[in-house]
Amino acid sequence: MPLLAGLAAVVTVTVLARPTALLTFGLIALAGTLNSKRSTH
What pLDDT score does 31 carry?
Answer: 92
What's the domain count of the chain?
1
Q: How many helices (H) and strands (E) does the chain have?
A: 1, 0
Q: How many angstroms separate the CA atoms of 14 and 8, rounded?
A: 10
Q: How many angstroms separate the CA atoms of 33 and 15, rounded?
A: 28
pLDDT in tens, 1-41: 689 999 999 999 988 888 888 899 999 999 999 888 877 76
pTM of the entire structure?
Answer: 0.48
What pLDDT score does 9 carry?
Answer: 93
What pLDDT score does 11 carry?
Answer: 92
Domain extent for 10? 2-39
